[in-house]
Amino acid sequence: MSLGGKSRAFALAMLVGASLAVPHVSFAQDSSAPATAAATAPNPNLPHVVILCTGGTIAGTGATSTTTVGYTAAKVGCDTLVDSVPELKKVANVTGEQVYQIASESITNDNWLKLSKRINELLKQDNVDGVVVTHGTDTIEETAYFLDLTVKSKKPVVIVGSMRPSTAISADGPINLYNAVIIAGSKEAVGKGVLVCLDDQINAGREVTKSNTSTTDTFRTPDLGFLGYMQDNKPHFYRTSTRLNTADTEFDVSNLTSLPQVDIVYAYGNYNSLALDAFVKAGAKGIVHAGPGDGSVGAQMVGPLQEARKAGVVVVRSARVGSGIIARNGEQPDDKYDWVASDNLNPQKARILLMLALTKTNDTKAIQDMFWKY
């Protein structure tokens, strides 16, 4: 089956890159090193966008051009990724760094700390106008919110991935990367918080979630909708997030080498406290309870959660349903149990905010206020 011209060129670049087995990077090999200058002299009329590569399907390869699932993520290095979309050079002066090379379901707190610190270093530089992060789509929503809460700059940070591997017919990586670079270099995206753009839709990092296992339009913002579109090489915004983010955040990870352990207890019919008890025993400082409905808590779990609270563990009620506000003192007497309601954050995002909140306080009233503000 023959590939269209662009896809063939992109796939060829990827196969060449991937065939080198170890991803080679012609840009700064170690993310601690400064981004190297672009190979050609920078165009003074274009913004300087740094692409930080972390792996995922956008850097993935499949056995054939029709392999769209069951491929290998995180194979192709940053330089091959950047070089395979020559149109990038028409819209920005681009430099790239391989921060790490992972399938994003394996991401760790250490990965998040490293990425946030590197972005903050880069955005302090006057000659850097914006940053793009290429990332696996499985945990983009968590990374996006972590960066939304820890990047100390109003300059654009845009996270991008793809749902098809680079070697597939109609791979979505090239256009997603091209759009992300345009947004990251645009004035319109300044001060909008961390953004996620795939499939021409621009979502807020705080609100976006992956809603489908495999389709290219998987990134959605339930109920509230995305912020705008990418169309005809330009971002078009129609709204912005109302919550504190980036330059207005109180969280500072610059001196942190680890984050407090926060785990998620998933609720379901006939569940029990085995997982909760194990998390607390293992030293969890916070627990997010992913309840059905409006963050409901099974009667059999109220006691164990109160025990955890008595042991100093902060308990946050979220919901497994995917959208809507967790009403404080709605399904549960949060005041009485001293629990925190997660507002409209899903469990995996509530965990991100609770981890960062616990780097500053374990006072539940202060933490509840953070869930209302961020």
Q: d(Cα 271, Cα 130) in Å, to the nearest integer?
A: 46
| DSSP letter for each residue of 80-92 | HHHHT-TTHHHH-
Can you tell me which of 62, 136, 156, 286 binds ligand DGL, judged by CB under 6 A? Answer: 136
- Rounded CA-CA distance 294/297 in Å is 9
Residue 28 · residue 128 · CB < 8 Å: no
Distance CA 218, CA 176 (A): 13
Is residue 57 flagged as an active site residue?
yes
Residue type for 140, please? I
Establish if 260 lies at the interface with ligand DGL (CB under 6 A): no
Q: Which lies closer to ligand DGL via its Cβ, residue 73 or residue 85?
A: 73
Number of residues that bind ligand DGL (CB under 6 A): 12
Please pick, from the candidates 13, 73, 195, 208, the single residue that binds ligand DGL as defined by CB under 6 A.
73
70: CB partners within 8 A, 6+ apart: 62
Place of tokens 């090239």: 174
Q: Give dist(CA 14, CA 75) in Å, integer.
A: 9
One residue of 52, 85, 91, 103 binding ligand DGL per CB under 6 A: 103
How far is the C-alpha of 356 from the C-alpha of 33, rounded, in Å? 27
50 binds ligand DGL (CB under 6 A): no
Q: Which is nearer to ligand DGL, 82 or 168 (CB)?
A: 168
- Closest residue to ligand DGL, judged by C-beta, is 136
User: Facing residues of 235 across strands?
Assistant: 230
Instruction: Name which of residues 146 to 205 contact ligand DGL (CB under 6 A).
Output: 161-163
C-beta of 142 vs 331, nearer to ligand DGL:
142
Strand partners, 202: 197, 228
Select 118 or 135, whichever has its Cβ closest to ligand DGL: 135
DSSP alpha helix (H) spans, 20-108: 78-83, 88-91
* 56 lies in the site for ligand DGL, by CB under 6 A: yes
248 binds ligand DGL (CB under 6 A): no
Q: Which one of 130-138, 178-186, 201-209, 233-241 is the stretch in contact with ligand DGL (CB under 6 A)?
A: 130-138
Q: Which of 80, 84, 116, 137 binds ligand DGL (CB under 6 A)?
A: 137
Q: Which stretch binds ligand DGL (CB under 6 A): 102-110, 273-281, 332-340, 341-349?
A: 102-110
Q: What are phi and psi of 95, to 5 degrees?
A: -125, 155
CB of 215 or CB of 361, closer to ligand DGL: 215
- Cα separation of 338 and 352, whole Å? 20
Instruction: Please name the residues in contact with 301: beta carbons below 8 A apart, sequence gap of 6 or more.
Output: 265, 267, 271, 272, 273, 276, 289
Between 287 and 306, how does the x/- string for binding to ligand DGL read (CB under 6 A)? --------------------
Least Cβ distance, residue 242 to ligand DGL (angstroms)? 29
Interface with ligand DGL by CB under 6 A: which range of 92-100, 103-111, 177-185, 189-197?
Answer: 103-111
Q: What residues does 264 pair with on adjacent strands?
A: 288
Tokens of 72: 């290998």
Of the two residues 31 and 137, which places its CB atom closer to ligand DGL in the complex? 137
Residue type for position 143: T
CB of 158 to ligand DGL, least distance (A): 16
Q: Which of 10, 31, 50, 57 forms a contact with ligand DGL (CB under 6 A)?
A: 57
Q: Which of 57, 61, 216, 221 is an active site residue?
A: 57
35 or 180: CB nearest ligand DGL:
180
The structure tokens listed for 221 are 């913002």
What's the CA gap between 363 and 350, in Å, rounded? 16
Query: Least Å distance between CB 74 and ligand DGL?
Result: 6
**E strand or H helix at 305, and its extent?**
helix 299-310
Q: Is 105 in the site for ligand DGL (CB under 6 A)?
A: yes
Cβ distance 46 to 93 under 8 Å? yes
Which residue, 180 or 319, has its beta carbon nearer to ligand DGL?
A: 180
Choose, by CB under 6 A, the member of 138, 142, 172, 207 that binds ligand DGL.
138
Q: How far is CA 222 from the centre of its chain?
A: 16
Residues annotated catalytic, as ranges:
57
For binding to ligand DGL (CB under 6 A), which residues are involved? 56-57, 73, 103-105, 136-138, 161-163
